[in-house]
Structure 1
Amino acid sequence: MTDHHHHGPGHDHNHGHDHGQMDDDAFAEMIDLDAEVLHEYLTGLFGWLHERSGGRTRRILDVGSGSGTGTLGLAGRFPEAEITAVDLSAPMLHRVRDKARALGVADRIHTRQADLDAGWPTLEPVDLVWASASLHHLADPDRVLTDILGTLRPGGLFAVVELASFPYFLPADLGLGRPGLEERCHALAGRDVPLLGADWGPRLRKAGFTVEAERRFDIALTPPLPEATGRYAQAVLSRLRSGLDDRLDPDDRATLDTLLSGDGMLSRTDLTVRTTRTVWLAVRP
């Protein structure tokens, strides 16, 4: 979750309203928890990219880096590469630099503050571009895809990772008087992000890429769950609650408020993690 212009309760790694440091902190925590809980999936994905690149990757670009989960994950999997993290949010880029120093890779991590909707920054050619859960919030994604094509070296790889929806955690029958609380929340949230769950293959081909592979990851974690799962569920549902606010049915709003009060998700024993991520691997001819 990838990622800051917050269109609804999701996480966008490129844009940004002046929403305050507290919201930045909560958003960064949600991204970091996503990477922690879905560690196995991400490790496999980075391994696939490394195998496909043949170990020849020397420069990587992270488009909409957020708090740096992709940047630092790629730094670990590609130990010879220099990585540039691009994001609009200065506080998020500060986090990337702090993490890089803590991991001893600061000499290979560069940051660039840029609003991609305002224009493409001047960047050196790269071998691999990573865009995780960031493209679906762009005002003109087709123009940005063309810019990315121009930044890639011939034969370079572009990995697009997108969500089908926000993650699910709760039992399907949960709801005050009627089941399906999470489903209703996600349906409302999806209206704020029209490109959420879109097929990026046709757009990539239109921009001039060759789409080499499309892989769908249906993630379903059941107990025993990673230790961070309760905090992850709390962070995501809190963001849904605040983003939807008065659009929620009063009963659903009351149920969410009850779930999120006190320890909220931390004490629940019926949580699971259900989410779908789709990865398009494209090549510049």
Structure 2
Amino acid sequence: MTTQHHHLSGQDQHGHRHDHSHEDYGGKAGVAELLELEAAALGTYSDEIAAWAAELVAAAPRTIVDLGCGTGAGSIALARRFPSAEVTAVDNSPHMLERVREAAARHRLASRIRTVPADLDEEWPGIREADLVWAASSLHEVARPDRILADAFSSLASNGLLVAIEMDTLPRFLPHDVGLGAPGLELRCHEALARAGWNAHPDWRLPLERAGFRIAAQRSFTPEARPGEAAGRYADAFLARVRRALDGELSAADRRTLDHLLDADNPDALLNRNDLAVRVSSTAWAARRP
């Protein structure tokens, strides 16, 4: 469960969720690149949610767990927001955990962020009496989220807080009319991705309550990154993966338009445009262990 904001998962007939990111994103290295580009483009997005969590915690947390930490944007934001806390970053990918350690060193937080390899579908890491558990786009990646929530509940101290974050929609970058092909290209891509079950997740309120949590708050976050190099690089990386995932699903005309946008040699390619903006919408649930 290598995640941070938009791993794209479907659901089979038995209700099990599957991570498509390995095949669609070119393996862990591709996922890591995408997560880091997202963090660069959206800037203070994780900091904003961490600040919201700071308003809800019962006391300054000393032990924080970042489940499915990806490349560590959440871990870094949490360590900065809560200077007295130790952050445990959990992921099943050694590649991702190495990226977390590198990021922690860059931000001079290595002494307060430790990494723990764990596949949550197999076992819960040996963490107890946590004050805050953070799950950013990771709950929808596991096969049995109800069990994970029960484990998280048991691992929290009394009055401890769990914050679950999910992206409501996939990132949007393009204007309605990109000046090539038929207008509405991105909308058609998103419709095709929705049919494939990308980024599918439930409203976590009821599962959290079933696990014993009391919902403390729920909030939407809608960060937007303005045009610039970071937005262009993120758009290029994301839409290149979308292009591969939708090969055969889009019309030939739409595939040609995407290929044109992804060709850096074209003057109107994504990397050369000044009309891109990264637009996302996420929901965060904060739930307390009574």
Give TM-score scaled by structure 1 length. 0.87
Deviates more, 1:213-222 or 1:227-236: 213-222
Counterpart in 2 of 1:265? 270
- Write the distance in 1 (CA, Å) between the matches of 2:25 and 2:190: 26
Deviations 1:184-235 (A, max 9, x none): 212222344476253111111111111111101233444xx35411111111
Q: Is the 8 A contact 1:4 1:15 kept in 2?
A: no
Deviation at 1:55, TM superposition (A): 4.8
What residue is the counterpart of 1:253 in the other structure? 255
Deviations 1:155-205 (A, max 9, x none): 001111101121001112348653321122122223444762531111111
**Contact 2:66–2:133 under 8 Å retained in 1:** yes
Q: Label 1:47 to 1:240 Cα distance change in 2 as closer, same or farther (>3 A).
A: same
Q: What residue is the counterpart of 1:208 in the other structure?
A: 212
For residues 22 and 197 of structure 1, the distance between their equivalents in structure 2, rounded to whole angstroms, comes to 23
Asked if structure 2 preserves the Cα contact closer than 8 Å seen for 1:4 and 1:16, the reply is no
1:172 — aligned with what?
A: 176
Cα deviation, 1:104-139, whole Å, max 9, x if unaligned, reads 221211111111122322223210011111112221
- Which residue in the other structure is 2:246 paired with? 244
Aligned positions, number: 278
3-state DSSP of counterpart to 2:177: coil
Q: 2:71 matched to which residue of 1? A: 67
User: Aligned partner of 2:252: which letter?
Assistant: P
Report SS of the residue matched to 1:106.
coil
Q: Determine helix, strand or coil for the equivalent of 2:115.
A: strand
Aligned residue in 2 for 1:135: 139
Q: Which residue of 2 aligns with 1:275?
A: 280
Letter in 2 for 1:45: I
CA distance in 1, matches of 2:21, 2:283: 27
Which residue in the other structure is 2:14 paired with? none
Note the C-alpha offset of 1:42: 2.6
Which SS does the other structure have where 2:243 is aligned? helix
% identical aligned pairs: 44
Query: What SS does the corresponding residue of 1:282 show, helix, strand or coil?
Result: strand
Q: Which of these residues, 102, 119, 125, is aligned with residue 123 of structure 2?
A: 119
* Aligned amino acid, residue 235 of structure 1: A
CA deviations over 1:32-88 (Å, ceiling 9, x no partner): 222222223332221121232255200000010001111111111111111111111
CA RMSD of aligned residues (A): 2.7
Against the structure 1 CA distance between its residues 169 and 17, is the aligned structure 2 distance closer, same or farther, given a 3 Å change threshold?
A: closer
Does structure 2 conserve the Cα–Cα contact (< 8 Å) formed by 1:175 and 1:181? no
Aligned pairs for 1:1-285 within 5 A: 2=4, 7=9, 23-53=27-57, 55-174=59-178, 177-193=181-197, 196-222=200-226, 225-262=227-264, 264-285=269-290
Please identify, of 57-66 and 17-26, the stretch whose mean Cα deviation from structure 2 is larger: 17-26
Comparing 34-43 with 158-167, greater Cα deviation is found at 34-43
What is the rounded CA distance, in whole Å, between the counterparts of 2:99 and 2:88 in structure 1?
Answer: 14
User: Could you say if the C-alpha distance between residues 148 and 192 of structure 1 is closer, same or farther in structure 2, counting changes exceeding 3 Å?
Assistant: farther
The alignment partner of 1:98 has SS state of helix
Normalized against structure 2, the TM-score is what? 0.86
Check 1:165–1:49 CA distance in 2 against 1; reply closer, same or farther (3 A cut): same
Q: Given residue 108 of structure 2, which amino acid in structure 1 is its aligned partner?
A: G
